[in-house]
């Protein structure tokens, strides 16, 4: 298969479908999760299918088998780390708002780069239900900020110092909330701990920049994509044969 999932695939816990062997399904998911540290292109689809391990159905197994068929045809694919690349620290974030049909929680993805080298990636379901896309993006930006600050501290031990780290987001609403340090009346429903990102923007530790959705690399970790879009993103992330 040329892609991991058909465009628009939305699995749910349909109890009317035929159940399958839980042990077999979980062993397949476990093997795929073991592979994700080196094959980030399968992370979203694998984590998506892992949500249904409690009561797997035939529809879930079909998607898992498609992932295996995709891997069969891309055995030579791997990340490329050019030695002459810079060590500029940047990040991308994206959210699929209320993308999970089980509990209506959002799925988010984030990437951190050192120059052209992809060094950290995350694809997870948020632990809270967001009432808007802006709120979901705001929460992810705060999470990414924590990760970036930790990376800055670690890289400082190796002699690399960063004044400001760029985080790219495709939600102008979330950027507006983060940038406006006095706009609290519209964000009281968001948990207080996420407001610390505003403090780091004010201190100059990070900068939030808008990026067009077409160039949002974190799309790979939030939704199923068509072949053209999927290949474009994995090449941009540094995957080559």
pLDDT of residue 199: 82
pLDDT above 70 coverage of the chain, percent: 90
Nearest to 93 by CA among 66, 133, 39, 59: 133
User: Which of 98, 106, 43, 63 minimizes the C-alpha distance to 233?
Assistant: 43
Nearest alpha carbon to residue 71 among 34, 44, 32, 121: 32
Q: With 60 as the cut, is the pLDDT of residue 182 above it?
A: no
d(CA 207, CA 215): 18
- Is the separation of the CB atoms in 108 and 222 below 8 Å? yes
Q: Is 132 helix (H, G, I), strand (E, B) or coil?
A: coil
Looking at every residue in the chain, the average pLDDT score rounds to 84
Task: Encode pLDDT of 193-225 as tens digits.
Answer: 667 787 888 888 888 899 998 889 888 888 888
* pLDDT the model gives residue 134: 82
Confidence of residue 19 (pLDDT cuts 50, 70, 90): confident
């Amino acid at each position: 298969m040329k892609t991991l999932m058909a465009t628009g695939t939305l699995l749910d816990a349909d109890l009317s479908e035929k159940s399958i062997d839980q042990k077999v399904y979980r062993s397949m998911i476990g093997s795929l999760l073991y592979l994700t540290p080196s094959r980030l292109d399968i992370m979203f689809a694998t984590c998506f299918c892992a949500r249904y391990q409690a009561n797997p159905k035939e529809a879930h197994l079909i998607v898992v088998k498609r992932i295996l068929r995709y891997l069969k045809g891309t055995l030579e694919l791997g990340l490329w780390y050019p030695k002459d690349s810079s060590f500029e620290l940047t990040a991308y974030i994206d959210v699929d708002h209320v993308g999970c049909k089980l509990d209506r929680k959002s799925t988010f993805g984030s990437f951190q780069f050192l120059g052209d080298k992809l060094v950290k990636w995350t694809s997870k379901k948020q632990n809270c239900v967001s009432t808007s896309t802006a709120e979901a993006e705001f929460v992810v930006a705060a999470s990414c900020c924590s990760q970036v600050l930790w990376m800055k501290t670690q890289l400082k031990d190796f002699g690399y110092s960063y004044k400001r780290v760029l985080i790219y987001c495709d939600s102008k609403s979330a950027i507006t909330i983060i940038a406006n340090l006095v706009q609290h009346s519209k964000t009281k429903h968001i948990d207080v701990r996420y407001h610390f990102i505003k403090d780091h923007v004010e201190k100059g530790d990070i900068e939030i920049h808008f990026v067009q959705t077409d160039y949002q690399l974190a799309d790979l970790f939030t939704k199923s994509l068509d072949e053209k879009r999927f290949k474009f993103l994995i090449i941009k992330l540094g995957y080559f044969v």
